[in-house]
């Protein structure tokens, strides 16, 4: 590994951000570094390595020193660790760095297929002479994109807890879903003991969170935790043009369009923006991302976009009531406070239904999880992972966990996956040796001590049961709308999904209690000025793009409502 010096003798000079190039061919490696230095040497350090492992070791050292990396360029064919494996592991160290794969013409098809494994920004054919035409335009674009990216400073938030504690998992999951970097210390380790001793806390009061400022939080609730890590929880005012309830794709879409069109907008989310989509390891059929995008990346970008356009985002606020007060709509929180607005968009999404088999409820957070729980992925190494569900979210989780687990088994009650899962995902699963699909199978019991250890499975046709070793169970079944807090003034169907627009006009008549001298607008609920978007809407299409479209359309209808509320 070689790199240009970061400082002169006798004085400290902050290191320039780096351009890192990896190629096992020394002549190619030197040529790439030479071309990069020629154009970018004044602004960037050029760091080169001749193996993926050497480059990863250097990146770890740079991360510890607080150095930044703008672009990673890696050769596709390298012994030991190929370019894609390197870029995938480098993503954990420098998620904001732009990633470029260097490939020969003969490997183009393989590279294009393989880039679904990592969030690749570009691939570049070798040789690239002249660099002015083929190399520099690509690197210029990557640097420009990197400079536009919000890059957070390394955070020293530390979490100490029991590995198989449900509450410890909830704290880690909350931080991860809110894009808050943290370091995890299992209580058995010497560093955890040192931190607990320094904080004067014994291990019976875990989890413990130590904030970047050094404040010790013992078994914190989510609102307390959010306050200490810099998430907004208190509204700036008590009246808005638009309140959006729910921070999934529909709510984020409504917030972006509401704020961009001049409405004073606040987004209220009880846990973390992103919803179920935010927990997806990879979304490959969302328009505009030909190489796929993780749910966390997509929703984090949307959140930052909404904030940049002027929307306010509140987390850990549990909404328990909605009512009309004259022309205002009042949103009430569990802590007794409230905010008012001219209009409201309901985008509360849905939650996964729980399995009722014996033993499962006792093991939630200790091997049994609802949703993907990506914070557990790296710990799955050597374990048997079971996934219940046959829709895209289950398939995406299976593909992701197959990279870590000893084996992944998808359990489906029906005869196959094609009825509920996208074709591209079914084909991807069929090509992964570590994944097995068991159809017509259900979980009937879970057992374990400190953690999940075994599952009893039943064949639905024959009734035969089988007990299998299982370290993890991830459940993705059904969709329950989060509408239990809505009063009778918001009409819902028998499943609890919110009715809107034409669905309210039974026999061509306006809904009972409707007090406006007009028909409900397309996404308007039975309470004028309250709109619904995304999965919580009755008869909605359960796709990310559809939810975002609902959010955008709802804002357009809010404008129409504000022009003629009655």
Taking residues 93-98, what's their average pLDDT? 85
Mean pLDDT of the chain: 88
> Alpha-carbon distance 359 to 371, whole Å?
18
Q: Dihedrals φ, ψ of 371, to 5°?
A: 95, -175
> Alpha-carbon distance 446 to 365, whole Å?
13
pLDDT at residue number 490: 95
pLDDT at residue number 41: 92
pLDDT at residue number 279: 80
End-to-end CA distance of the chain: 70
SS3 letters across 417-465: CCCCCCHHHHHHHHCCCCEEEEECEEEEEEEECCCEEEEEEEECCCCCE
pLDDT band of residue 118 (cuts 50, 70, 90) is low
| pLDDT-wise least confident of 182-196, 370-384, 388-402 | 370-384
Taking residues 514-523, what's their average pLDDT? 92
Q: Is 11 a residue whose pLDDT tops 70?
A: no
Query: Is the Cβ–Cβ distance between 21 and 131 less than 8 Å?
Result: no
Taking residues 322-336, what's their average pLDDT? 95
Q: Is 84 a residue whose pLDDT tops 90?
A: no
- 230 strand-pairing partners: none
| pLDDT-wise least confident of 66-75, 467-476, 549-558 | 66-75
Taking residues 459-478, what's their average pLDDT? 94
Taking residues 332-354, what's their average pLDDT? 94
pLDDT tens-digit readout, 171-219: 999 998 888 888 899 999 888 888 888 788 888 889 999 887 778 899 9
Percent of the chain with pLDDT over 70: 93
SS3 letters across 76-112: CCCCCCCHHHHHHHHHHHCCCCEEEEEEEHHHHHHHH
Domains of the chain: 2-148 (3.40.50.2300), 158-228 (3.40.30.10), 239-351+480-563 (3.50.50.60), 361-475 (3.50.50.60)
- 3 strand-pairing partners: 47
Taking residues 504-520, what's their average pLDDT? 87
> Taking CA 561 as the corner, what is the angle to CA 559 and CA 565, rounded to the nearest 5 degrees?
140
Percent of the chain with pLDDT over 90: 57
From the list 550, 530, 146, the residue with the least C-alpha distance to 345 is 530
pLDDT at residue number 305: 95
From the list 142, 151, 153, the residue with the least C-alpha distance to 19 is 142
Taking residues 445-455, what's their average pLDDT? 96
The burial of 444, by beta-carbon neighbours within 10 Å (0-12 exposed, 13-18 middle, 19 or more buried), is given as middle
pLDDT at residue number 10: 33
Q: Dihedrals φ, ψ of 169, to 5°?
A: -60, -40
Q: What's the token pair of residue 230?
A: 């810099």
From the list 165, 316, 288, 166, the residue with the least C-alpha distance to 548 is 288
Q: Which of 177-181, 275-279, 454-458, 501-505 shows the highest mean pLDDT?
A: 454-458
Q: Is 65 a residue whose pLDDT tops 80?
A: no
Q: Is 442 a residue whose pLDDT tops 50?
A: yes
pLDDT band of residue 113 (cuts 50, 70, 90) is low
Whole-angstrom CA distances from 326 to 79, 304, 501, 519 are 70, 34, 22, 19
Residue, of 71 and 213, whose pLDDT is higher: 71
Query: Is the Cβ–Cβ distance between 531 and 345 less than 8 Å?
Result: yes
pLDDT band of residue 363 (cuts 50, 70, 90) is very high
Whole-angstrom CA distances from 45 to 16, 17, 249, 345, 418 are 6, 6, 38, 48, 50
Those residues with Cβ within 8 angstroms of residue 352's Cβ, 6 or more apart along the chain or in another chain? 276, 370, 371, 475, 476, 477, 478, 479, 480
The model's pTM is: 0.72
Q: Is 94 a residue whose pLDDT tops 60?
A: yes
Q: Is 566 a residue whose pLDDT tops 70?
A: yes
pLDDT tens-digit readout, 125-154: 877 778 888 889 989 999 998 988 765 444
Q: Name the 3-class secondary structure at 403.
A: coil
- 218 strand-pairing partners: 208
Q: Dihedrals φ, ψ of 557, to 5°?
A: -75, -30
Query: Is the Cβ–Cβ distance between 103 and 123 less than 8 Å?
Result: yes
Q: Is 108 a residue whose pLDDT tops 70?
A: no
Residue, of 15 and 164, whose pLDDT is higher: 164
pLDDT band of residue 12 (cuts 50, 70, 90) is very low
pLDDT band of residue 4 (cuts 50, 70, 90) is very low
Q: For helices 83-93 and 52-65, give the axis angle rounded to 10 degrees.
A: 10
């Amino acid at each position: 590994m070689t790199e240009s010096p970061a400082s002169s003798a006798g004085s400290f000079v902050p290191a320039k951000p780096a351009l890192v190039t990896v190629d096992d061919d020394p002549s190619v490696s030197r040529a790439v570094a030479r071309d990069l230095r020629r154009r970018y040497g004044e602004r960037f350090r050029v760091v080169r390595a001749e193996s993926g492992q050497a480059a990863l070791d250097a990146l770890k050292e740079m991360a510890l020193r607080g150095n930044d990396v703008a672009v990673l360029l890696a050769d596709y064919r390298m012994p030991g660790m190929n370019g894609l494996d390197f870029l995938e592991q480098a993503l954990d160290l420098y998620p904001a760095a732009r990633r470029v794969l260097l490939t020969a013409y003969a490997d183009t098809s393989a590279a294009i297929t393989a880039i679904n494994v990592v969030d690749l920004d570009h691939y570049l054919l070798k040789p690239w002479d002249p660099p002015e035409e083929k190399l520099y335009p690509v690197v210029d674009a990557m640097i420009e994109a990197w400079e536009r990216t919000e890059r957070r400073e390394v955070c020293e938030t530390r979490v100490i807890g029991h590995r198989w504690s449900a509450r410890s998992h909830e704290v880690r999951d909350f931080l991860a879903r809110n894009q808050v970097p943290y370091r995890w210390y299992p209580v058995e380790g010497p560093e955890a003991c040192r931190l607990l001793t320094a904080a004067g806390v014994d291990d019976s009061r875990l989890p413990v969170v130590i904030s970047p400022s050094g404040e010790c939080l013992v078994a914190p609730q989510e609102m307390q935790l959010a306050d200490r890590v810099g998430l907004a929880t208190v509204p700036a005012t008590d009246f808005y043009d638009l309140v959006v309830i729910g921070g999934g794709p529909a709510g984020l879409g409504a917030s972006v369009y509401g704020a961009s069109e001049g409405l004073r907008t606040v987004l209220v989310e009880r846990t973390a923006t992103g919803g179920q989509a935010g927990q997806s390891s990879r979304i490959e059929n969302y328009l505009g991302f030909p190489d796929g995008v993780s749910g966390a990346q997509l929703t984090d970008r949307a959140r930052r976009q909404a904030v940049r356009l002027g929307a306010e985002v509140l987390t850990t606020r549990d909404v328990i009531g909605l009512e009309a007060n004259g022309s205002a709509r009042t949103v009430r929180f569990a802590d007794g406070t409230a905010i008012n607005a001219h209009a409201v968009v309901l985008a509360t999404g849905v939650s996964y239904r729980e399995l009722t088999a014996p033993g499962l409820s006792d093991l939630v957070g200790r091997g049994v999880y609802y949703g993907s729980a990506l914070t557990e992925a790296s710990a799955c190494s050597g374990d048997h992972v079971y996934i219940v569900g046959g829709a895209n979210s289950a398939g995406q989780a299976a593909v992701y966990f197959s990279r870590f687990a000893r084996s992944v088994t998808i359990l489906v009650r029906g005869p196959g996956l094609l009825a509920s899962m996208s074709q591209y995902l079914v084909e991807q699963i069929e090509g992964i040796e570590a994944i097995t699909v068991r159809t017509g199978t259900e979980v009937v019991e879970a057992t374990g001590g400190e953690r999940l250890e075994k599952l009893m499975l039943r064949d639905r046709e024959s009734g035969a049961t089988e007990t299998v070793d299982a370290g993890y169970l991830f459940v993705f079944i059904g969709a329950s709308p989060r509408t239990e807090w809505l009063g009778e003034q918001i009409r819902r169907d028998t499943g609890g999904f919110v009715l809107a627009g034409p669905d309210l006009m039974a026999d061509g008549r306006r809904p009972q209690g409707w007090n406006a001298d007009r028909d409900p607008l397309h996404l308007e609920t039975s309470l004028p000025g309250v709109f619904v978007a995304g999965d919580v809407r009755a008869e909605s299409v359960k796709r990310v793009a559809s939810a975002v479209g609902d959010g955008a359309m709802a804002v357009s209808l809010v404008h129409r409502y504000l022009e003629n509320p009655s």
